[in-house]
Structure 1
Amino acid sequence: MLLRDLDYVRARAQGLPAIPGEYVEVIDSTKDGINPWTWASSLRPILLARGLRFERLDKKQREMALGQAAEAWAAIKGRVRFESVADRNPQLLAEFRKNLTRFEFDLHLCSPSSFDVAEWQCSKCGHVWETMIRNRALSGSGCHACHRQGINNNNVSRSMAPPGESLADLFPDIAARFIRCLKDQTRTPENLRIKSNLKCEWSCHTGQHTFTAPVFAVSSGAKRRCCN
């Protein structure tokens, strides 16, 4: 296969972009579902005929060879050095677990625009999820669990009563009958808004029993039928 004045052979698992040149032939293993290493092994007679060696590589040697080939190919195409995800987004290295599309390709061998799906583990909460490499490297997506927790924390923060507007500040007599918040044990009359919909346990104003009701229902003055 000839590219201008270069004699080259290339096997790859994904389709290649158009390359200028009069004599260009591309092996695209995607169409036939053939592993690129099968194609590479089939080139053994060609290499031996040219006086070159052919050696079977282990996983680590493959990764090194792929990295060197990627840089060489980028230099040939545009004389521009290949920029990997590891180069552009080194912070993702700590959360990368494995490439699910091409297991032998890590972040040193994938470009930031790669459509490969990878498995990630959050360095903060340990949550494991799957998403395309480009979603993390280009779009900046992160841990879904941390995102949900962030939304929850924001909602909790917004539900906290500001100074002077808590149940304890505005209705100290009702606050005295507060027993506990059923959903969040950290919520007290000192940080509950009077219109909060959080369900709590209260002591009846008669002192004879307890009941559960949202804060807003009690602060509005509504009495239970049994207490009338």
Structure 2
Amino acid sequence: MNEQKQRLTDRPDLMAEWDFDKNSPLLPDGFSMGSNKKVYWICPKGHSYGPKAIYERTRQDGKATGCPYCANKKVLPGYNSLQDLRPDVLCEWDYEKNDKQPSEYVAHTDKKVFWKCSKGHSYQMRICDKTKEKPYGCPVCSNKQLLTGYNDLKTLFPKLAEEWDYENNLTRPKDHIPGDHVKVSWICRHCGTQWTASIKERTYHGTGCPNCAFYFKTSAPEQAVFFYVRKMFPDAINSYSPNYLNRMEIDIYIPQLRIGIEYDGKAWHSNKKRDEFKSKLLKEKGIQLIRIRESSEENLFNDYAVLKSTYKNNLKELEPTIHELLLILKEHSNSKNIPSIDLERDAPAIYAMSEGNKQQRSLASSGEKVLQEWAYDLNRALTPDKVTPGSGKTAYWRCSKCGFVWQQPIKQKVKAGLGCEHCNKTEANLKRTQRKIALGEIKTIVDYPDLLKEWNDPRDPATVSDGNDKHALWKCSVCGYEFKQIVKNRTRQGQGCPRCGRINQAKTRGYAVINVVTGEEYWSIAEAERQTGIAAASIRQCCNGVFQQAGGYRWKYADKHSRK
């Protein structure tokens, strides 16, 4: 039958919902089901609503409407309002910023309103997100929404913020939450390496400088494990290296339990023989070893326990493994309680602890003597507190003995000790020379009587070989002139006083002059000028016959040959 011609009275269910009081004097038998007349209705629960067109209640396309209060489309105080159904969330209602009251909203509406958490953070969120089975909390407290000075990167990770590349990044650490996925540029505060990584990778995934990850030989998962182990056992030691391990380390050691913990990353197979040797040494010392492996649970070395790491990319994934480890440790201590494990919550503290551990293991804290030869001016940003004694990074060094500057890997320098290759070579040569002198195989200055008279050097001439290629101090036995000259140039090449040499050369070439009046002879015109104060040009002109006198005296060349 055509819907337009059907009478409303043919629908008993709708007749039961007709509001006779509000619709009076209208009666339902006067309308068809397709009428667009708006009338009032009363649902089976007694909710009066309308006016609503009759055809909206009778349409057959699945879009027929009913009571808006039962369907939670409209709020009815005392029935479906937020205040009635969820009074537990009203403690966070922001009465200052919201224009309406909780009684004016349906409990599950998707309308956005303002909330204020117990810590005073104001934020916007849909009402349905606060009232669903697993409601959302404060986005500021959960670090989902930025609040500068409270949960920004600079506030929560101050040490990490020091590595922010201000030159290449357009934003600042205070503009980001720690869980931000955006990739930015970083500059390592230890070695100066520049690289790109997302903020979340650095804060919650534990990634760091790719260069230092090799030199400091530690990992973010290892540091996370150590953080919670130390909460249970304050005496726990990170990177424990006793003498009997021959420069090897235990990642984590608990003295009171005599238990060691090793975190083996994906590349642990490359050190299989070393790990087997380490396990053997520890067993001999009565130390039980627990291994956490990312790649295998196989107990190859008969260790106390081997755990499979649940870590893949995010440190949060490591929580089950840490909990399993702490349960094992609890069995050995009985009275210890397992601490709460939340790697997102504790990420700032873990990072700060890791940086502190690096500082303790740095070259600056090692007390190595080679620190006095560190060339701070040439190494610039690379300082001893940013590297370990075992680092393979190359640095500048300045010899404390001779001042020679050179580059050398830190690990090699620590092993070599103070001094440079030049000094070490010189010392070795000196010892060899002294031995030959004692055996009479080579001569010394003492074997040259004429040179011994002119020796003016603080060194003992009996210890200086005649082939020495270093400068020595001399004093001419003829003119008293003091000068420096290489030893072997005097002993083997016959070099003498440079001043006497110039005088003899001048005399040979005829440059010597004589004061005819006084009879004094000078080895050069310049020497005559220095001793008499008479201009050299005047003396030369007089010797050449241009002037009769120079300075009141007559002058001539000593060999009587004119020089023009």
Range class of TM-score, shorter chain: 0.3 to 0.5
Larger Rg: 2
TM-score by length of 1: 0.47
The answer to which structure, 1 or 2, has the higher relative contact order (CA under 8 A, 6+ apart) is 1
The normalised TM-score by structure 2 is 0.22
